[in-house]
Structure formats: C-alpha cells, structure tokens
Amino acid sequence: MKIIYLILSAMLLATAGLSSQNTQAAPTAISVATDNPTLAATMSATASASTLRSLAESRNFYMGAAVNVDALLSVPQYSATLSQQYNMVVPENAMKWNATEPLEGVFTFDQADQLVDFAKANQMSIRGHNLVWHSQLPRWLTSGTFSHDQLLAILQKHIQGVVTRKSGQELGRHI
C-alpha cells in the first residue's frame, strides 16, 4: 500500500483563492494509491466528512504545510485553512539564512517567532527549516570575499545562533 500526500504552499494559496509569485503551479490534491479497494473507499468517505487535520490526528500522523508568513498575517482564509486542516507547519522562508541573519552577526527571528506563536496558539507542531541552504543566502555572504577558514567560522556562528535561539521549539530540523 502506498499513500502519498502532496502538501504544498501552492495548494494552501489556491484554497485561500490566492496566487504567489514565489510558488509555481503544483498538484493540488492528495494522491492515494492502494491495492485495497476497501481501504481506498473508507479513506475517500472519511476524507469527505473530516478535515485533513482530524484524519491525521486520529492516526497519530502529522499533516503539514509550508507556510508563507506574509500570507499567514494578512489573509484570514489562509490562516484559517492552516489551523483547520493541518497540525504541523513548516516555514517557507522565515528560517532561511537571509531571513534569520540579514546582516552579518545580526540575527532576527520576527517572522519565525510569528509562525511559532501561530502554531502554539493552534496546537500545531513546528518543523524547522534548513540551517544552511544553497539559495536565499544573505547578500553580505554571497558578495563577500572570505577565506575558507572565515567561511567555516561564519557558518558555525550562524548555525549556533539559530539553534541556540530556537532549540526546543521545533519538532525537527533538516540539516
């Protein structure tokens, strides 16, 4: 039996009747493939009568969505859909390097904190994002002329700054 859930921010934006220039078109449905017709029929009937969140919680399962914090704060249907349909949130960009350390040595967690506050208020888990990612690096880093040793020190300082600030607040973190 295979059950594949595609939970993308594009789906959430589409549900809220929005589009995002940062979000490419993506599948907007949950795909269910199984060899068991009874299971498929049960899941289909159950899904029509419940939220994704209640189905996930009844099976001790996380149902998550990547969250655009700007939309979360400005679009009521977006935040309502998140809190009703999902029991876990993942920041789209709020915990990436350019968002958490826009200036060298200057950390900011405003959007990350807003997402954590929303999740706590709605009894949701938080899945932290990459500590280091190949894109969305701050300009001071990409345009700097650092030696190998300096880059290692910068990387270590960034990771320690984020992990120390956020330790214990996320379910997990991709590294």
pLDDT in tens, 60-75: 999 999 999 999 999 9
Three-class DSSP category at 158: helix
**Mean pLDDT, the chain, as a whole number?**
76
160 pLDDT more than 60: yes
Query: Residues 106, 154: contact at Cβ < 8 Å?
Result: no
pLDDT digits (tens, 9 = 90+) for 76-124: 999 999 999 999 999 999 999 999 999 999 999 999 999 999 999 999 9
How confident is the model at residue 129, as a pLDDT?
A: 72
State the pLDDT at residue 164. 84
Tell me how many domains the chain contains: 1
Helix (H) / strand (E) containing 172:
strand 172-173
**Residue 22 pLDDT greater than 80, yes or no:** no
pLDDT of residue 64: 93
Residues in the chain: 175
What is the pLDDT at residue 166? 58
Distance CA 144, CA 151 (A): 10
- Give the per-residue pLDDT at 159: 92
CATH code where residue 44 lies:
3.20.20.80
pLDDT higher than threshold 90 for residue 170: no
Domain that holds residue 46: 2-173
Strand 31-33 vs strand 2-4: parallel, antiparallel, or unpaired?
A: antiparallel
Local structure of residue 151 (DSSP, 8 states) = H
Instruction: Give mean pLDDT, residues 147-158.
Output: 96
pLDDT > 90? residue 23: no
Task: Choose between 166 and 12: higher pLDDT.
Answer: 166
* pLDDT score recorded for residue 154: 97
Count of beta carbons in the 10 Å neighbourhood of residue 126: 24
